[in-house]
């Protein structure tokens, strides 16, 4: 089946004939500006903010700007085939929803709205451990949609095992282990508002509904929120792990395992040696290490270092269709999108997530065609020029 995504363009123009315009901009590189005036300062800062001076957030975008597409003509790119299969998951386009925690600060429906939007588009949602809804409720909202589970690795093996079992039973097929956020960075946007959702019991629904987590409490989190939060903090923050702990996850998770937050070719090789199935080249959207290299800048060397020995995915800074083309051309098998859909959720709930994602996908589809690429296999470093 050829790609349907570009059709969103005609849908928007046709609705215009009935006097309708999109609920917010189709310029997906400008969603932050659009959302700024429509969100409370705390939640806005939580989404937009980065580590320290924001240099890594900026570096992520600058890295994309250094690469330019080299369009080709007369290639018969009328009907595009953008579908792919990643780690056993079939996708209509190589785009996933990145794990974003505490989504109820953005919209009352939180992750449930996101799961419904992802399922409606056939896209894969990666559910965060720091969600504001339970694993089971998000799975039910996503119905037949494909889903992966992101683990913030607890400092308690019983809780870890329990979370993995719950995710497996609820139909999550791939485990994404986030390595770069074992403790929170210095984030001025949140510090200036003294705003951290988790300390308010937001983004804790998964552990707070977990039998192994609850076993360590005398009273339920509803009866005694303070004690539950005090158990949560040291379990999810403050302790870094080492490579030799990875076999523990393999022992308790039978599906593919992906390491999120790889930024160095040496770590990528180490990931190959450790036998995981994939990596996400990512710096957490610039939220963890200030002054770090732009994620796209390290993608080519990492892709070269691992070859086809594991699946390379990418996030951090994807805003437009051209960005997707660039990351795929430089070696990613698929990309994850974070902030754009989070702003969509904040501005218009489930339809906002759909609008933000459909805009990126339509732009991607049209950019593929107009630059002369019919399939994902047509993309290579030769598609681009570094400026
Ligand atoms: C994140 N990210 C994230 N990652 C993760 O593994 N677990 C999580 O709970 C969260 N939570 C989260 C909240 C918010 C508000 C943002 C913006 C990001 C990181 C996310 O998965 C992804 O790596 C980045 O968002 C990608 O960068 P862009 O697309 O936002 O530039």
Domain membership flag for residue 2: no
Residues 6+ apart with CB under 8 A from 237: 182, 183, 184
Residue 4 confidence (pLDDT): 87
Cα–ligand 1 centroid distance for 384 (angstroms): 27
Residue 3 confidence (pLDDT): 75
Cα–ligand 1 centroid distance for 11 (angstroms): 30
Token reading at 130: 């720091």
Cα–ligand 1 centroid distance for 342 (angstroms): 9
The verdict on the CB of residue 282 being under 6 Å from ligand 1 is yes
The verdict on the CB of residue 285 being under 6 Å from ligand 1 is yes
Ligand 1 atom nearest to CA at 283: 23
Domain membership flag for residue 188: yes
Domain membership flag for residue 314: yes
The verdict on the CB of residue 178 being under 6 Å from ligand 1 is yes
3-class DSSP assignment, residue 237: coil
Residue 284 confidence (pLDDT): 99
Q: Which residue segment(s) compose the domain that 164 sits in?
A: 7-386
Domain membership flag for residue 30: yes
Domain membership flag for residue 253: yes
Cα–ligand 1 centroid distance for 370 (angstroms): 30
Residue 32 vs residues 54, 329, 341: alpha-carbon distances, Å: 14, 26, 11
3-class DSSP assignment, residue 322: helix
Q: Which of 217, 220, 253 is nearest to 235 (CA)?
A: 217
Strands (E), 103-245: 124-127, 147-151, 175-178
pLDDT tens, position by position, for the chain (387 residues)? 467 899 999 999 999 999 999 999 999 999 999 999 999 999 999 999 999 999 999 999 999 999 999 999 999 999 999 999 999 999 999 999 999 999 999 999 999 999 999 999 999 999 999 999 999 999 999 999 999 999 999 999 999 999 999 999 999 999 999 999 999 999 999 999 999 999 999 999 999 999 999 999 999 999 999 999 999 999 999 999 999 999 999 999 999 999 999 999 999 999 999 999 999 999 999 999 999 999 999 999 999 999 999 999 999 999 999 999 999 999 999 999 999 999 999 999 999 999 999 999 999 999 999 999 999 999 999 999 999
Global pTM reads 0.99
Token reading at 267: 């770590």
CATH code of residue 221: 3.20.20.70
- Give the residue, out of 43, 48, 97, 98, with the most ligand 1 atoms within 8 A of its beta carbon, to mutate for a pocket test: 98
Domain membership flag for residue 250: yes
Q: Which of 209, 214, 233 is nearest to 139 (CA)?
A: 209
Q: Is the dihedral of CA 163, 164, 165, 168 positive or negative?
A: positive
Domain membership flag for residue 191: yes
Interatomic CA distance for residues 46 and 105, integer angstroms: 9
Residue 338 vs residues 50, 263, 317: alpha-carbon distances, Å: 13, 17, 8
Ligand 1 atom nearest to CA at 60: 31
Domain membership flag for residue 124: yes
**Domains held by the chain: number:** 1
The verdict on the CB of residue 63 being under 6 Å from ligand 1 is no
């Amino acid at each position: 089946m050829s790609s349907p995504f570009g059709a969103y363009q005609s849908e928007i123009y046709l609705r215009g004939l009935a006097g309708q315009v999109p609920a917010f901009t189709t310029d997906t590189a400008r969603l932050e500006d659009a959302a700024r005036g429509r969100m409370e300062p705390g939640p806005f800062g939580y989404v937009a903010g980065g580590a320290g001076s924001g240099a890594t957030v900026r570096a992520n975008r600058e890295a994309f700007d250094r690469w330019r597409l080299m369009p080709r003509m007369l290639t018969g790119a009328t009907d595009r085939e953008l579908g792919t299969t990643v780690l056993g998951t079939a996708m209509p386009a190589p785009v996933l929803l990145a794990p974003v925690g505490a989504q109820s600060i953005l919209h009352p429906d939180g992750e449930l709205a996101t799961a419904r939007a992802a399922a409606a588009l056939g896209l894969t949602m990666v559910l965060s451990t720091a969600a504001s809804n339970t694993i089971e409720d998000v799975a039910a909202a996503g119905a037949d949609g494909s889903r992966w589970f992101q683990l913030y690795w607890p400092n308690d093996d019983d809780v870890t095992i329990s979370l993995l079992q719950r995710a497996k039973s609820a139909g999550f097929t791939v485990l994404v282990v986030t390595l770069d956020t074992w403790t929170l960075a210095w984030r001025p946007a949140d510090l200036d508002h003294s705003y951290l959702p988790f300390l308010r019991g937001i983004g804790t629904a998964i552990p707070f509904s977990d039998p192994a987590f609850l076993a360590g409490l005398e009273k339920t989190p509803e009866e005694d929120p303070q004690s539950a939060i005090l158990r949560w903090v040291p379990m999810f923050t403050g302790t870094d792990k080492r490579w030799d702990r990875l076999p523990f996850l393999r022992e308790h998770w039978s599906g593919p395992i992906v390491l999120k937050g790889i930024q160095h070719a040496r770590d990528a090789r180490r990931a190959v040696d450790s036998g995981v199935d994939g990596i996400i080249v990512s710096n957490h959207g610039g939220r963890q290490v200030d002054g770090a290299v732009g994620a796209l800048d390290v993608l080519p060397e990492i892709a070269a270092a691992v070859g086809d020995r594991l699946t390379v995915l990418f996030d951090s800074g994807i805003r437009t269709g051209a960005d997707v083309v660039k990351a795929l051309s430089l070696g990613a098998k698929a990309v994850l999108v974070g902030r754009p859909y989070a702003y969509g959720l904040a501005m218009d709930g489930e339809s906002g997530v759909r609008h933000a994602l459909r805009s990126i996908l339509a732009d991607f589809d049209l950019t593929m065609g107009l630059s002369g690429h019919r399939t994902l296999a047509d993309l290579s470093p030769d598609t681009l020029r570094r400026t």
